[in-house]
């Protein structure tokens, strides 16, 4: 249930919005960087199909940029960062390149950007749209930790909310086994996949593209990556938008606490929308999960829906209000028909499982990156001690998230870098930070904290009163403001609200 970004479904129509603006100092992308010896070294070619996907259209080109595997040894071994680009459609008015990260961590920009590009058509008029696979993800030396059969067994047999000593032992053993698999199958890259190195890669990409300043659109985990970049390279921050913001002040337990709050808030809003009392509806769903824990539900595939998969299935449609009817149908099937087909399908989608039983490696990369970042390694006893608080926060999601603090990086073979990421960026150009009040995965409060951490005059807060994980393309107001910021350099007044 860790934070995972989603590709936007499509842009809402732009509307005329009165902007209170300020000059965007230092945000002109300008001509190619004369100091970049690599500005013409990228060999752009027609793109092959990504693993499990289809090749993008003829307007897309792909390349690979070699960067140091270990930035402490810049002349040592290198790693290839996979890139994809769609050229600006109005070349005479081109502003430069715009780099995207859609979240995860573990999302493949090479795969997602072509599928999401229609949402960014207006931005593409003056920017080259550029996606990349961060190190440890997909085509950029993607981390692999276990095979499909091992993954299927874990989802089937490991109880993510253990109730007995035996279940606790199996739970922790699975986490340790997962990390050992990463070390066995991806030994060279595993110590170097943290967010700080990915931010350094972003600056190498900027130089290779020939841009003086970085224009960047980060969503979900991509906001943490953007904040890290701004801290490391404030002088090259151009026009940067952070949407669906990860709280930079939260450690691993804090993130779990935030998500318990956020998912429960989204569930409450969903229940109200259906004309149900949130407290009674939550209790009903919690009771359903208790029954499934004792007796998993059958499906037509022959696989069973256990409690852990059911929780994941309930989480998935909370990411977008447009998916709430899907949740209604899935819960109705489970509660009234005693079947788990719809919830299992939703869980499979979240877990990256296709109809043939093949799992993608997003979860592998997500875990490797987040464990490389976070120092904390909570114990089973510490997770157990969190249960009363987390059950109070969310009877449905709290137990899962409390236990997750101990299982996620259990026995991890690589030491984490920090307790919380650093996002202060004194001297950087204004960065637009967008928080959605009903965001389930990255609750609204984290956006305010990110704006504060970036610093006075840097973090510009925009509130979107709405539901779902991310606002661009979902809110016409937000989309209009972001387009004006990127295309015209108009900075909304700090504290602006879209409703």
- The count of C-alpha atoms lying within 13 angstroms of the C-alpha of 274, restricted to the half-sphere facing its C-beta, is 21
Distance, CA of 3 to CA of 9 (rounded, Å):
18
- Within 10 angstroms of residue 38's Cβ, the number of other Cβ atoms is 16
b/e map of 147-182 (b: 16 or more CB within 10 Å)? eeeebbebbeebbbbbeeeeebeebbebbebbbebb
Confirm whether 255 is a catalytic residue: no
CA-wise closest residue to 3 among 172, 248, 171: 248
Distance, CA of 175 to CA of 389 (rounded, Å):
23
CA-wise closest residue to 380 among 181, 154, 160: 160
CA 200 from centroid of its chain's CA atoms = 19
CA 451 from centroid of its chain's CA atoms = 18
Range list of H helices, 299-444:
307-315, 324-332, 341-351, 362-373, 380-393, 398-407
Residue from 29, 439, 480, 483 carrying the catalytic annotation = 439
State whether residue 45 is helix, strand or coil: strand
DSSP class per residue in 249-307: T--HHHHHHHHHHHHHHHHHHHHHHTT--HHHHHHHHHHHHHHHHHSPBP-TTS--B-H
Confirm whether 439 is a catalytic residue: yes
- The count of C-alpha atoms lying within 13 angstroms of the C-alpha of 212, restricted to the half-sphere facing its C-beta, is 9
Token representation of residue 130: 């550029």
Query: In this structure, are residues 315 and 271 in contact, taking their beta carbons and an 8 Å threshold?
Result: no
Residue from 469, 471, 480, 483 carrying the catalytic annotation = 469
User: How would you classify the pairing of strands 96-101 and 459-467?
Assistant: unpaired
Range list of H helices, 128-209:
148-157, 165-185, 195-209
Considering Cα of 278, then 279, then 282, then 284, what sign does the dihedral take?
negative
Per-residue DSSP letter, 337 = I
b/e map of 67-88 (b: 16 or more CB within 10 Å)? bbbeeeeeeeeebebbbbbbeb
Strand order across the beta sheet in which 496-498 lies = 45-46, 60-68, 78-86, 127-132, 96-101, 214-219, 237-243, 431-438, 459-467, 496-498
Token representation of residue 495: 């504290």
Q: Report the DSSP beta bridge partners of residue 462.
A: 434, 496
Residue from 220, 252, 308, 320 carrying the catalytic annotation = 220
Confirm whether 469 is a catalytic residue: yes
- Within 10 angstroms of residue 31's Cβ, the number of other Cβ atoms is 10
Q: What are the catalytic residues?
A: 220, 439, 469
């Amino acid at each position: 249930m860790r934070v995972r970004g989603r590709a936007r479904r499509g842009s809402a129509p732009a509307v005329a919005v009165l902007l209170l603006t300020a000059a965007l100092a230092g945000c002109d992308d300008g001509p190619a960087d004369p100091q970049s010896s690599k500005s013409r070294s990228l060999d752009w070619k027609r793109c092959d199909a990504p693993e499990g996907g289809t090749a993008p259209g003829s307007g897309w080109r792909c390349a690979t940029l070699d960067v140091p595997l270990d930035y402490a040894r810049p002349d040592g071994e290198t790693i290839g960062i996979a890139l994809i680009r769609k050229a600006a459609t109005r070349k005479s008015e081109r502003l430069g390149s715009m780099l995207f990260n859609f979240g995860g961590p573990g999302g493949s920009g090479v795969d997602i950007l072509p599928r999401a590009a229609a949402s960014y058509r207006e931005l593409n008029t003056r920017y080259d749209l550029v996606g990349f696979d961060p190190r440890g993800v997909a085509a950029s030396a993607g981390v692999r930790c276990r095979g499909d059969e091992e993954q299927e067994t874990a989802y089937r047999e490991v109880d993510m909310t253990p109730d007995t000593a035996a279940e606790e032992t199996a739970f922790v053993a699975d986490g340790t086994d997962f990390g050992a698999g990463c070390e066995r199958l991806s030994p060279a890259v595993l110590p170097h996949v943290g967010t700080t190195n990915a931010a350094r890669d972003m600056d190498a990409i900027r130089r290779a593209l020939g841009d003086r300043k970085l224009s960047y659109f980060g969503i979900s985990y991509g906001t943490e990556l953007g904040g890290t970049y701004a801290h490391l390279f404030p002088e090259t921050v151009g026009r940067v938008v952070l949407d669906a913001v990860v709280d930079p002040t939260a450690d691993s337990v804090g993130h779990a606490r935030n998500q318990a709050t956020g998912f429960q808030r989204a569930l409450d809003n969903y229940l109200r929308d259906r004309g149900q009392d949130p407290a009674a509806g939550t209790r009903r769903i919690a009771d359903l999960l208790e029954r499934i824990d004792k007796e998993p539900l059958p499906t037509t595939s022959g696989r069973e829906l256990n409690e852990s998969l059911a929780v994941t299935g309930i989480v998935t449609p909370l990411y977008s209000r447009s998916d709430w009817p899907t949740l209604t149908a899935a819960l109705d099937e489970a509660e009234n028909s005693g079947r788990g087909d719809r919830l299992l399908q939703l869980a499979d989608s979240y877990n990256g499982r296709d109809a043939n039983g093949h799992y993608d490696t997003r979860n592998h990369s997500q875990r490797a990156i987040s464990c490389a970042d976070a120092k904390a390694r909570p114990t089973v006893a510490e997770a157990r001690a969190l249960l009363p608080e987390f059950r109070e926060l969310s009877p449905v999601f709290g137990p899962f998230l409390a236990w997750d603090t101990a299982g996620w990086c259990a026995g991890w073979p690589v030491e984490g870098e920090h307790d919380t990421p650093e996002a202060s960026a004194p001297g950087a150009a204004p960065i637009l930070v967008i928080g959605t009040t009903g965001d389930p995965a990255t609750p609204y409060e984290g956006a305010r904290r990110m704006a504060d951490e970036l610093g006075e005059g840097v973090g510009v807060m925009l509130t979107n009163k709405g539901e779902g994980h991310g606002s661009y393309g979902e809110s016409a107001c937000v989309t209009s403001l972001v387009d004006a910021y990127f295309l015209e350099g108009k900075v909304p007044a700090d504290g602006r609200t879209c409703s």
